[in-house]
Structures are given as structure tokens and as C-alpha cells.
Amino acid sequence: MAEETKESPKRRGSCLGKLASLITFAGVAGLGVAVWFIAQPQDLSDLKGHAPSAASSRTRDLNQVLKNAVNQSFPLSLTEEEINLYLRQTLAAKQGGLLEKYVTLDGARVRLEKDRAELILLRTVAGHQITTSMYFRVEQTIELNDTSMTHIIRDGGTFFPQVPDTVLAQKVVKGGRFGQLVVPQGFLILALPSFENLAKAYESELNHAFREMARISIEKGKLVLDPRPGGSALPEADGNF
């Protein structure tokens, strides 16, 4: 009996050690899988205006189009294709900072989904393409005098839409994608300077599109805008003015 009592702690210790080893292995394996997905660029084949065949296509001067819409007060619809073509025509892609010698910034693209947009940066590292993206949504509040307040929300919605609307569910939101991996909003601090520099490059367009529009709607494949007080951002507005 005494011998059995002495061996029991060893068996419990052995089980705890195996469990700790298993947890460590699972953590390392999970990290490896995450790194693999980060290294794989996301699929961009669904983006309008991204295919190599679109490189020679031209689109309207969207900065002027937006300015005209605001000054002349007419509704406007910009498609995903013409936004991406405009980015290809106007963005002088250059990687700055310490990684300038090793990383090439190839451009930026936009994916428009229902109530959400995804801004994607394309880079080449040692001959391998990588992608980094940020989700954002637009929320507007209408005041009693029919003026509107526009808020740009830097997230793509909660990770757990099926979970009841709790504080935890609200905080765990999708920030964007590193490669193919969707990451929480907090991780975007690593890539935020790049997106802020892009915003500065298109400050005029963003000002017209978001600060001076009374109604903004992100639809599948298009951004619908209306500068008219009391107007509505109607999907049928084609903006061909």
C-alpha cells in the first residue's frame, strides 16, 4: 500500500506534463498555420478592375467627378471597377521606411461589399506577393435639421454575428486581413501607418466622398453617394454627368 501511495504523485505529474506538452505543441502548430495563411496573398480574382487585362483601361477623373457632384448637388454612384482603375492610374506606389530596399509597394485595391468596404495594399517581398487589408464601414446619423454626421468605422463587423449582442461580441471585431488570415482590429496597429499615408494621398477625394456627402451607402460592387440635404443615396443613380 505504501508503494502505491508514493507512485500516485508521479503519475499525476506525468499527466500534467503531457498535457502541458500537448498544449504547447498545439500553440506552436496554430502559430505555424497562422504564419502560413499570412504569407499567402488573398484571392483578388473577384475584384473588378484588378485583372492584368484592365491595366490599359482608363476611367473618369474621380476627384473631379466627386467635386462636380458636390458643387452641382447631384447623386453619384461609383463602381468598384472604376475606383480600382482610378487607383491604378493615380497612385504612385512606393514603399518607404527601413524596408524600402526589400519591399515593393505594387498598389492598392478596394473591394465593395454590402455595408462594408475592404482596402487592400499589394506588396512584393523577395519576389513573393503579400497583401494587407483593412475593413471599414460607414455609419451616419441624421439630425433634426436634416444634416448628417458621418462616422468611418475601422472594422468589418463582429467575428461572432450569431452570438447575442454582448460587450465581448462588440469588442471582438474584424479589423482586416494579413494575407488570407482575418485578424482582430487591434492587430491593424502594425499596418496603420501605411493606410494613413494612402489616405493622405487621396485627401481631396475622401473629403468630397465622405465629409461633403449627405447620404452614403456601400453596396455590393458600388459606392452610392448623395450630397443633397434630405436626399437619399439611391442605387439607380449612375453618376454619368
When pLDDT is cut at 50, 70 and 90, the band that residue 233 belongs to is: very low
When pLDDT is cut at 50, 70 and 90, the band that residue 68 belongs to is: very high
By the 8 A CB rule, do 174 and 36 touch?
A: no
Is pLDDT at 161 greater than 90 in this prediction? no
118 three-class SS: strand
Q: How far apart are the first and last CA of the chain?
A: 94
Query: What are the Cα distances from residue 44, in Å, to 17, 48, 188, 206?
Result: 45, 9, 20, 23
For residues 149-162, average pLDDT: 84
When pLDDT is cut at 50, 70 and 90, the band that residue 42 belongs to is: very high
Distance between CA atoms of residues 26 and 28, nearest Å:
6
Distance between CA atoms of residues 51 and 90, nearest Å:
17
| Percent of the chain's residues with pLDDT above 70 | 73
pLDDT of residue 62: 96
Nearest CA to 47 among 20, 83, 9? 83
For residues 221-225, average pLDDT: 96
By the 8 A CB rule, do 86 and 65 touch?
A: no
Predicted TM-score (pTM) of this structure: 0.80
93 three-class SS: coil
pLDDT of residue 36: 77
Is pLDDT at 205 greater than 80 in this prediction? yes
Higher pLDDT, 221 or 13: 221
When pLDDT is cut at 50, 70 and 90, the band that residue 37 belongs to is: confident
When pLDDT is cut at 50, 70 and 90, the band that residue 160 belongs to is: confident
Sheet hosting strand 76-79, strand order edge to edge: 76-79, 222-226, 215-219
Is pLDDT at 215 greater than 60 in this prediction? yes
When pLDDT is cut at 50, 70 and 90, the band that residue 116 belongs to is: very high
Q: How much is the mean pLDDT over the chain? A: 82
Read off the C-alpha cell for 231.
436626399
Is pLDDT at 237 greater than 50 in this prediction? no
Distance between CA atoms of residues 34 and 28, nearest Å:
10
pLDDT of residue 235: 38
Q: Return the beta strands (E) in the chain as ranges.
A: 76-79, 103-113, 116-125, 128-142, 148-153, 174-178, 181-184, 215-219, 222-226
Distance between CA atoms of residues 240 and 226, nearest Å:
14
pLDDT of residue 151: 87
pLDDT in tens, 93-112: 655 555 566 778 889 999 99
Distance between CA atoms of residues 204 and 79, nearest Å:
19
For residues 66-81, average pLDDT: 96
